[in-house]
Amino acid sequence: MIKHIKKSIWLSIIAAFALTAWLTYFAVAPLKLQPSSQEISIQAKSGLRSIANQLVMQGVLKEPW
């Protein structure tokens, strides 16, 4: 019984360490943006419909729906 508890604790510690390492990697790794990426601007406090219309006006989307 104690062996199973110790094993579970060790597996939990290893899983937590692996998850932390994985999250740290993605937090620190630079973004790999494509050369054709665009910079967009969205007005503050915009609703979903307004954001869609702004993206159409900036040429990111073809249709707002």
Alpha helices in the chain (DSSP H): 2-28, 48-57
- pLDDT tens track for 12-51: 999 999 999 999 999 999 887 776 777 888 889 999 999 9
DSSP state of 44: T
Please indicate, yes or no, whether the overall pTM of this predicted structure exceeds 0.85: no
Among 37, 44, 43, which Cα is nearest to 59's?
37
Q: How far is CA 34 from the centre of its chain?
A: 17
Residue 64: the pLDDT is 85
